[in-house]
Amino acid sequence: MANGQWFPQDWPERIRALTEGTLTPVVPKRAATVMLLKDTDRTPAVHMLRRRASMAFAGGAYAYPGGGVDPRDDEHHVRWAGPTRAWWAHRLGVDEASAQAIVCAAVRETYEEAGVLLAGPSADTVVGDTTGDDWEADRAAVAAREVSFAEFLDRRGLVLRSDLLGAWTRWITPEFESRRYDTWFFVAALPKGQRTRNASTEADRTVWIRPQEAVDGYDKGELLMMPPTVATLRQLLPYATAADVLAAAPGRDMTAVLARARLADGEIVLSWPGHDEFTKHIPTDLPTGGA
């Protein structure tokens, strides 16, 4: 392929099955991911991780910290600061319990995979360095689901700072994919005093990279990425600072992007509405396992 668009070998077969009505779509799981930003001398840099090549889903692809919602993320005793759950429900297009779960997942996954915690002792403070042994023990316990994120915050006397997040976009994994996620993308600035690190068992490296450099790497076929990752990187290009990105977040359209597959002129046309660069034309007689 000319660029680094992630495209699994079994997609053509599954797309054909979907268009023929022999494949039943999997119900997508709710998920959240965070574009963590920090200012450089010219433009914000974004924290990205490379998924291990052995991963069944998007192996080798660059992505942001994130993952699925833990059923306990909607526990009502989560310590909370910032916009209300009702405000987030309206912004994300879900009910209040789901809104808390999605926002909580965004903060929790950022802590689990990058070691960055968007929480503080009060509604207007944020914790500093979180790299000590005691913090690592807590992070590992949360990641292993030994304690819920709500229990972790409660024991530490911390409140989740939902005001440090900005909802950016929403993408749903195509109906023909065997592993599907309904993912809300957020933006956040790296809190002062905190440092990122590769705390994820699913990643073999992490980088701070300017969006333009990441996009250039993708366009040259050097960096493998999924469509939503490339799309969000391109959306970051106009902004000069992390604050500018966060200021733009409330005006972003949160209508979900879902790939479409249709038959036309003897081929399958795969497209993502509003994102023409990802459109693919797949011959209907392509052998099983082709790409």
Query: CA-CA distance, 224 to 136, in Å (whole number)?
Result: 30
Mean pLDDT, the chain, integer: 88
The reported pLDDT for the residue numbered 291 is 35
What's domain 11-283's architecture?
Alpha-Beta Complex (3.90)
Q: How far is CA 209 from CA 37, 46, 158, 265, in A?
A: 9, 5, 30, 41
Residue 19 CB-density burial (10 A; 0-12 exposed, 13-18 middle, 19+ buried): middle
Whether 108 has a pLDDT exceeding 50, the answer reads: yes
Residue 92 identity: L
In residues, how long is the chain? 291
- The whole-number pLDDT of residue 290 equals 37
In DSSP terms, which residues pair with 81 in a beta bridge?
161
Domain ranges of the chain: 11-283
User: How far apart are the C-alpha atoms of 228 and 167, rounded to whole Å?
Assistant: 14
Instruction: Among 19-23, 220-224, 235-239, name the one with the lowest average pLDDT.
Output: 19-23
DSSP 205-261: EEEEE-HHHHHHHHHTTSS-B-HHHHHHHHHHTT-SSHHHHHHHGGGS--PPEE-EE
Q: Higher-confidence residue: 23 or 81?
A: 81
- Judge whether 183 and 168 are in contact, CB under 8 Å: no
Cα–Cα separations (whole angstroms), residue 290 to 19, 181, 211:
17, 24, 31
184 forms beta bridges with: 32, 170
Give the list of residues 6+ apart from residue 238 with CB closer than 8 angstroms, or none.
none
**pLDDT value at residue 75:** 72
Tens of pLDDT, residue by residue over 260-272, are: 887 777 788 888 8
- pLDDT-derived band of residue 281, with 50, 70 and 90 as boundaries? confident
Nearest in space to 1 (alpha carbons), one of 235, 282, 288, 237: 282
Task: Read off the pLDDT of each residue in 165-186 and give the average, rounded to a whole number.
Answer: 92
